[in-house]
A = this chain, B = another copy of it.
Amino acid sequence: MLHKRRRQDTAAAAIQTRSASVAQRIEQVLQQALSLGEGPEGPPLLAAAMRHAVFPGGARIRPQLCLAVAGACGDPHPALADAAASAIELLHCASLVHDDLPCFDDAATRRGVPSVHAAFGERLAVLAGDALIVLAFQALAEAARPQTQRLLAPLIALLGRRIGGPSGIVAGQAWECEPRVSLAAYHRAKTGSLFAACTEAGALAAAADPAPWRAFGLCLGEAYQVADDVRDVVATTQALGKPAGRDRDLSRPSSASELGLGGAIDYFDRLVERSIEAIPDCDGATLLRAMVRAESERLVPQDSVRDLALAA
Does A57 belong to the interface (CB within 8 Å)? Answer: no
Contact between B177 and A164 (Cβ–Cβ < 8 Å)? no
Task: List which A116-145 residues lie within 8 A (CB) of chain B.
Answer: 120-124, 126-127, 129-131, 133-135, 137-142, 144
Contact between A131 and B178 (Cβ–Cβ < 8 Å)? no
Does A156 belong to the interface (CB within 8 Å)? Answer: yes
A173 surroundings in chain B (CB, below 8 A):
127
Majority-rule SS of A interface residues: helix
Contact between B153 and A126 (Cβ–Cβ < 8 Å)? no
A101 surroundings in chain B (CB, below 8 A):
126
Name which residue of chain B comes closest to A130, CB basis.
B170
Does A163 belong to the interface (CB within 8 Å)? Answer: yes
Interface string of A83-94 (1 = CB under 8 A from B): 000000000001
A95 surroundings in chain B (CB, below 8 A):
130
Interface residues on A, range: 35 or more
Among A157, A160, A167, the most chain B Cβ lie within 10 Å of the Cβ of A160
Contact between A129 and B130 (Cβ–Cβ < 8 Å)? yes
Task: List which A163-190 residues lie within 8 A (CB) of chain B.
Answer: 163-168, 170-171, 173-178, 181, 185
Name which residue of chain B comes closest to A135, CB basis.
B164
A138 and B123 contact, Cβ closer than 8 Å, known pairs A42-B166, A131-B171, A149-B149: no
Q: Least Cβ distance of A140 to chain B in Å?
A: 8
A130 surroundings in chain B (CB, below 8 A):
94-95, 98, 129-130, 133, 164, 170
What is the CA–CA distance of A50 and B21 in the complex, to the nearest angstrom?
41
Does A103 belong to the interface (CB within 8 Å)? Answer: yes
The segment from A33-41, A59-67, A201-209 found at the interface with B is: A33-41
A38 surroundings in chain B (CB, below 8 A):
165-166
Contact between B149 and A123 (Cβ–Cβ < 8 Å)? no
A160 and B135 contact, Cβ closer than 8 Å, known pairs A130-B130, A149-B149, A185-B41: yes
A160 and B137 contact, Cβ closer than 8 Å, known pairs A43-B166, A130-B129, A166-B38: yes
A156 surroundings in chain B (CB, below 8 A):
137-138, 140-141, 152, 156
A142 and B157 contact, Cβ closer than 8 Å, known pairs A39-B167, A177-B46: yes
Find A103's partner among B37, B42, B45, B122 (CB 8 Å cutoff): B122
Does A55 belong to the interface (CB within 8 Å)? Answer: no
A140 surroundings in chain B (CB, below 8 A):
156
Q: Least Cβ distance of A148 to chain B in Å?
A: 9
A168 surroundings in chain B (CB, below 8 A):
131, 134
